[in-house]
């Protein structure tokens, strides 16, 4: 390892950048703020030759390098490797950039990746918290104790002994696995573990969309990017593609704009997405969107602009003549994360129809109509604006509404996706002429449809029993898990007959966090820290000292994708990326698989009778063999719609890979579309989708063409404006209730709660350019380019004498955060916003000075078990200590300097 560091130091990079990394190189920062797409699509670059594998000037090799994060994009990254060190990075220059066949360019995070891989704050050795032992854990010192370097043998021995002791004493459910897959296989061999569940990304979309439309494509059911160009109006409802779908989405939307689509953005913040699309900005109060939608629908119906024929033909529940009936058999729903749920169709009382609800008639007469004026009081959008948008959407066709997860990432969130889909139905826009209403974010944004490329399977098997405590039954929900660790029970479901919420007792004495970082990234972190401090043993695998690692007792250092044999990356429907082996493992880091295998061998050595498994039972083939298998199984969809083998792999290729691997790899040579060498050189394969109509995506076409022959998968076979099944399901989950109609519900920690409980600021937590969640938060370049600052409305700030740069204290009943203010008119009054994912750093008074938003969020599970990150009731004030260092000058979490 020392050898590699010597090479790095002698290479063309300053020691300070790589090893200390506390001051950003200014030249780099200027480059960082570039967006990954061309702002003007006329600016196509001239065709370039394939990037030379060898860079003559620098004398290194360009190798395609993984960018593997859950970042909402998927792009091409390349690393210039010289003498085993990465000295530069670049992105896609494999072909000319045109709107129809665009380059897959990396963002500022991907281009900073080498700072992560070679960072001085990489975890270098297995380590143990100084005052921890399984007999005397000193949990109260977690997060503050010193670290000791230990050998892998000691790390595996101490871990195996601790696990065995706890499993003997409390049984296998005592270990709560927050994330990761390889160490849990060892736990399976010992009898299992308690898993975790709950939707965070798409908020209430997944189950709600399925109940209402009968289709599980809550994110993919958007038009593809060519059909998108046929839309006349696009509403981005709480979606910020320029930031949270890095890569091509904003550029694709620009093509639709150039082709004539008008854009509207509904968001509490004036976002980076708005200007490039010439969009109208409609500022809105968070978590009140359902009220605005109902106001729009009421105005459309009152103006006679609704599509009665569509509603009668495709929907149930709109008016008293079209209510769901009991004439269809039992309908089974297999939700993503819980047990399957059976709904028996019922006759629904015609009095419960949606039309009466919005018009304030029939049984709803006492409530009044859901007029734009009514909505305006709640959501803060002027009634006139609501009416204008309503008429525009009802009369401009085809028009699509793309929401992100954000507006549904609120407590009691199901009514938002439900109401939004109903708005589409009322205007006859859901599924007609490619128009769509869908949660179109992350890497499906702007380009819906099934993936056109795929990597093959790894072909690896493990030979340990399945976990007998499955995800769908015994898992603990994100919103309850810390409370369950502290207090010993969590919700299983609510018994419909007795009305009792059935609780499941747990006795958690161990926490394991592999990939992911639930402590920082799930709600109620302050309670999470208490839970960490309570258990006997906390184990973590990571390559940096993130929050989970910091509060653990033993930390296994793992490799990054750059140090592993390789990986195929998907997520972008048109392109498959090859992350190749770039460097040898840093210091003593091991891959997750090696860690699982090492622990299994140790467990077997110590307890052969109770644990009859060894490394091969965790994973039976090498990681190099897995790469070859994935390459061999890679496919693409050709212009006739057929799935084809992508790669030609020869016997020489297999020999070449065997040499790299230092072992004999097995693979039958095969014929494909391109050679493996071509794939390696380009680093990706991109389908030319302009080529054929086969690649187009028209959601719901078959149902719209013939609803009788092609019913959707709801209890009624139609789109459900009245969904008793969803209501019963949410009741069964056991956290809260959902009206069968898309009403404006009470939202825990919503706007009204804030007024009532005297915490009038609503905190929202946007996804931020600096990070992919909490990945990259430690990189100096990104810290300098994107400071962690609190957006505060200019009028609010004036009233409180807060100026940009002043340190502001944010308080909720769950925690406190202090951060500099960014005073701006880009956010609505009464709302503050902080980028999610900063690495919590609590000072001696328990105030988090890094600005980790989950310090403030509440342990409240609602609805389908999703998390309500986007409305937390807070107070703000000027902080007493104004001396917090600028982010880029914060010391790094360097444990062992070398
Ligand atoms: N307040 C608030 N909180 C949020 C959100 C929000 O909007 N607001 N958003 C939520 C959303 S949408 C999501 S998806 C979650 C994300 O939550 P997580 O998935 O928990 O977060 P990531 O930051 O992606 O964490 C990835 C971690 O895994 C580590 N890692 C990466 N590769 C490997 C590997 O190969 N092996 C191992 N062992 N570790 C690896 C990284 O170093 C990093 O620490 O956060 C949620 N949290
Ligand atoms: N840079 C970056 N990009 C990412 C990620 C990341 O960590 N960093 N994470 C990826 C992942 S896993 C996910 S799940 C996605 C999340 O993707 P999104 O959900 O699109 O991301 P957000 O930034 O949370 O929210 C989008 C917009 O919704 C607005 N918003 C918040 N609350 C409300 C509301 O109540 N109503 C309305 N109308 N608007 C609201 C926010 O101001 C924001 O501008 O992002 C992905 N992309
Ligand atoms: S968008 Fe994601 S995959 Fe693309 S370069 Fe940025 S971090 Fe990497
Ligand atoms: Mo997410």
Contact call for residues 147 and 551 (beta carbons, < 8 A) = no
Q: What is the pLDDT of residues 100-120, one digit of tens each?
A: 999 999 999 999 999 999 999
The protein residues having their C-beta less than 5 angstroms from ligand 4 (an ion) are: 201
854 lines ligand 1 (CB under 6 A): yes
Cα 586 to averaged position of ligand 3 atoms, centre (Å): 22
Cα 660 to averaged position of ligand 4 atoms, centre (Å): 35
pLDDT at residue 360 in the model: 98
Cα–Cα distances in Å, from 596 out to 182, 241, 622? 5, 38, 13
Structure token digits, residue 103 = 């380059």
Structure token digits, residue 670 = 């095969």
Rg of the chain over Cα atoms, rounded to whole angstroms, equals 27
List all residues 6 or more positions away from 382 whose beta carbon is below 8 Å from its beta carbon.
Answer: 376
Beta-ladder partners of 847:
816
867 lines ligand 1 (CB under 6 A): no
Task: Please report which confidence band the pLDDT of residue 330 belongs to, taking 50, 70 and 90 as the band edges.
Answer: confident
Contact call for residues 163 and 442 (beta carbons, < 8 A) = no
726 lines ligand 2 (CB under 6 A): no
Structure token digits, residue 894 = 């360097």
Q: Which ligand is nearest to the CA of 767?
A: 2
Q: What are phi and psi of 169, to 5 degrees?
A: -80, -40
Closest CA to 236 of 226, 246, 222: 222
The neighbour count for residue 813, using CB atoms within 10 Å, is 13
d(CA 531, CA 98): 52
Beta-ladder partners of 635:
454, 645
Q: What is the pLDDT of residues 332-386, one digit of tens each?
A: 887 766 778 889 888 999 999 999 999 999 999 999 999 999 999 999 999 999 9
Range of lowest pLDDT (52-66, 213-227, 868-882)? 52-66
Instruction: Tell me the HSE value of 339 on the side-chain side, using a 13 A CA sphere.
Output: 12
pLDDT above 80 for 166: yes
Q: Please choose from 70, 72, 412 the residue to mutate so as to test ligand 2's pocket, defined by most ligand atoms within 8 A of CB.
A: 72
Cα 268 to averaged position of ligand 4 atoms, centre (Å): 20
292 lines ligand 2 (CB under 6 A): no
SS3 content of the chain, % helix, strand, coil (to 5): 30, 20, 50
Cα 544 to averaged position of ligand 2 atoms, centre (Å): 25
Q: What is the pLDDT of residues 821-837, one digit of tens each?
A: 999 999 999 999 999 99
Q: How many residues does the chain have?
A: 898
Q: What is the pLDDT of residues 172-224, one digit of tens each?
A: 999 999 999 999 999 999 999 999 999 999 999 999 999 999 998 898 899 99
Cα 773 to averaged position of ligand 1 atoms, centre (Å): 5
Cα 200 to averaged position of ligand 4 atoms, centre (Å): 6
122 lines ligand 1 (CB under 6 A): no
Q: What is the DSSP string of 213-250?
A: HS-S-TTT-SPPHHHHTT-SEEEEES--HHHHT-SSHH
Closest CA to 852 of 867, 838, 835: 838
d(CA 345, CA 510): 44
Cα 280 to averaged position of ligand 1 atoms, centre (Å): 33
517 lines ligand 1 (CB under 6 A): yes
Residue nearest to atom 21 of ligand 1 (CA): 516
pLDDT at residue 30 in the model: 29
Which atom of ligand 2 is found nearest the CA of 405?
Answer: 19
Q: What is the DSSP string of 324-349?
A: --S-S--EEE--SSS--EEE---PPP
Which atom of ligand 3 is found nearest the CA of 106?
Answer: 5
The neighbour count for residue 663, using CB atoms within 10 Å, is 11
pLDDT at residue 106 in the model: 97
Alpha helices by DSSP H, listed for 757-895, are: 780-785, 794-799
Residue nearest to atom 8 of ligand 3 (CA): 110
Structure token digits, residue 328 = 């269809």
Output the ligand 3 site: residues, CB below 6 A: 67, 69, 71, 73-75, 77, 106-107, 109-110, 246-247, 772
Residue nearest to atom 32 of ligand 1 (CA): 515
The neighbour count for residue 52, using CB atoms within 10 Å, is 11
pLDDT above 70 for 395: yes
d(CA 666, CA 653): 11
C-alpha angle with apex 383: 377 to 388, nearest 5 degrees? 150
Cα 768 to averaged position of ligand 1 atoms, centre (Å): 13
Which atom of ligand 2 is found nearest the CA of 406?
Answer: 19
Closest CA to 88 of 173, 164, 189, 13: 13
Residue nearest to atom 3 of ligand 3 (CA): 74
pLDDT at residue 55 in the model: 63
Cα–Cα distances in Å, from 44 out to 96, 97, 394, 447? 7, 5, 36, 20
Which atom of ligand 1 is found nearest the CA of 405?
Answer: 12
Closest CA to 435 of 209, 231, 160: 231
The percent of residues above 90 in pLDDT, for the chain, comes to 88
Q: What is the pLDDT of residues 664-694, one digit of tens each?
A: 999 999 999 999 999 999 999 999 999 789 9
pLDDT above 70 for 54: no
Burial class (CB in 10 A: 0-12, 13-18, 19+), 326: exposed
d(CA 188, CA 590): 21
Residue nearest to atom 33 of ligand 1 (CA): 515
Cα 704 to averaged position of ligand 4 atoms, centre (Å): 31
């Amino acid at each position: 390892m020392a050898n590699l560091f010597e090479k790095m130091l002698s290479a063309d990079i300053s020691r300070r950048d790589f090893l200390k990394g506390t001051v950003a190189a200014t030249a780099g920062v200027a480059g960082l703020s570039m967006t990954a797409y061309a702002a003007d699509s006329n600016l196509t670059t001239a065709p370039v030759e394939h990037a030379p594998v060898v860079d003559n000037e620098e004398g290194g090799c360009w190798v395609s390098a993984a960018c593997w994060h859950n970042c909402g994009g998927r792009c091409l990254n390349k690393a210039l490797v010289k003498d085993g060190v990465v000295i530069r990075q670049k992105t896609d220059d494999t072909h000319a950039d045109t709107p129809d066949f665009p380059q897959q360019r990396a963002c500022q995070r991907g281009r900073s990746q080498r700072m992560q891989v070679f960072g001085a704050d990489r975890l270098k050795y297995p380590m143990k918290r100084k005052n921890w032992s399984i007999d005397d854990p000193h949990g109260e010192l977690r997060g503050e104790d010193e670290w000791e370097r230990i050998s892998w043998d000691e790390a595996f021995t101490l871990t195996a002994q601790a696990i065995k002791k706890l499993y003997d004493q409390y049984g296998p459910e005592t270990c709560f696995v927050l994330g990761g897959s390889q160490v849990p296989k060892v736990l399976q061999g010992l009898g299992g573990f308690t898993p975790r569940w709950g939707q965070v990304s798409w908020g209430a979309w997944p189950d709600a969309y399925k109940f209402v439309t009968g289709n599980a494509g809550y994110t993919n059911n958007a038009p593809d990017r060519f059909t998108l160009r046929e839309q006349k109006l696009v509403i981005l409802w709480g979606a910020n593609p320029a930031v949270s779908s890095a890569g091509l989405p904003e550029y694709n939307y620009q093509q639709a704009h150039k082709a004539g689509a008008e854009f509207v953005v509904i968001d509490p913040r004036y976002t980076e997405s708005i200007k490039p699309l010439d969009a109208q900005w409609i500022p809105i109060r968070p978590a009140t969107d359902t009220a605005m939608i109902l106001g729009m629908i009421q105005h459309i119906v009152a103006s006679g602009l609704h599509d009665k024929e569509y509603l009668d033909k495709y929907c149930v529940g709109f008016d008293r003549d079209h209510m769901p009936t009991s004439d269809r058999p039992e309908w089974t729903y297999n939700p993503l994360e819980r047990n399957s749920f059976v709904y028996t169709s019922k006759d629904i009382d015609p009095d419960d129809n949606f039309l009466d609800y919005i018009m304030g008639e029939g049984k709803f007469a006492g409530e009044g109509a859901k007029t734009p004026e009514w909505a305006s009081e709640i959501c803060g959008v002027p009634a006139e604006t609501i009416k204008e948008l309503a008429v525009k959407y009802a009369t401009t066709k085809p028009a699509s509404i793309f929401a992100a997860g954000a507006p549904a990432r609120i407590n009691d969130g199901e009514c938002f996706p439900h109401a939004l889909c109903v708005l589409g139905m009322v205007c006859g826009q859901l599924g007609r002429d490619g128009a769509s209403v869908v949660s179109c974010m992350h890497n499906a944004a702007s380009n819906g449809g099934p993936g056109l490329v795929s990597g093959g399977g790894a072909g690896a098997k493990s030979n340990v029993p399945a976990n007998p405590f499955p995800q769908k039954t015994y898992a603990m929900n994100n919103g309850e898990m810390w409370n369950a660790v502290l207090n010993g029970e969590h919700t299983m479901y609510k018994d419909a007959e007795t009305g009792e919420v059935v609780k499941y007792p747990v006795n958690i004495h161990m926490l394991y966090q592999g990939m992911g970082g639930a402590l920082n990234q799930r709600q109620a972190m302050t309670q999470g820290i208490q839970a960490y401090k309570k258990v006997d043993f906390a184990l973590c695998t990571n390559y940096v000292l993130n929050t989970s690692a910091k509060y653990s007792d033993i930390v296994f250092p793992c490799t990054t994708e750059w140090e592993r044999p390789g990986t195929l990356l998907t997520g972008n429907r048109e392109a498959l990326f090859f992350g190749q082996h770039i460097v040898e493992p840093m210091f003593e880091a091991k891959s997750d698989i090696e860690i699982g295998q090492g622990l299994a061998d140790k467990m077997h050595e110590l307890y052969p009778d109770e644990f009859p498994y060894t490394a091969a039972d965790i994973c039976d083939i090498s990681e190099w063999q897995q790469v070859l298998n994935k390459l061999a199984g890679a496919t693409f969809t050709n212009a006739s719609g057929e799935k084809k083998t992508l790669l030609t792999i020869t016997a020489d290729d297999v020999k070449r890979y065997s040499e790299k691997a230092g072992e004999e790899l097995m693979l039958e040579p095969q014929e494909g579309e391109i050679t493996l060498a071509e794939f390696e050189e380009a680093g990706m394969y991109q389908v030319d989708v302009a080529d054929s109509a086969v690649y187009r995506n028209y959601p719901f076409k078959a149902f719209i063409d013939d609803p009788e022959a092609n019913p959707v998968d709801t209890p009624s076979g139609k789109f459900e404006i009245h969904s008793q099944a969803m209501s019963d399901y949410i009741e069964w989950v056991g956290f809260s209730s959902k009206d069968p109609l898309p009403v404006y519900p009470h939202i825990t920690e919503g706007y009204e709660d804030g007024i009532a409980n005297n915490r009038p600021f609503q905190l929202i937590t946007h996804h931020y350019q600096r990070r992919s969640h909490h990945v990259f938060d430690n990189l100096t370049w990104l810290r300098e380019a994107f400071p962690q600052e609190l957006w505060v409305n200019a009028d609010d700030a004036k009233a409180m004498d807060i100026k940009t740069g002043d340190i502001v204290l944010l308080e909720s009943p769950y925690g406190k955060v202090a951060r500099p203010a960014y005073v701006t008119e880009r956010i609505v009054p009464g709302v503050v916003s902080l980028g999610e994912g900063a690495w919590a750093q609590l000072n001696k008074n328990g105030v988090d000075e890094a600005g980790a938003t989950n310090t403030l969020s509440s342990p409240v599970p609602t609805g389908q078990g999703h998390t309500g990150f986007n409305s937390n009731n807070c107070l703000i004030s000027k902080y007493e200590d104004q001396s917090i260092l600028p982010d880029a000058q914060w010391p790094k979490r360097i444990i062992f300097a070398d």
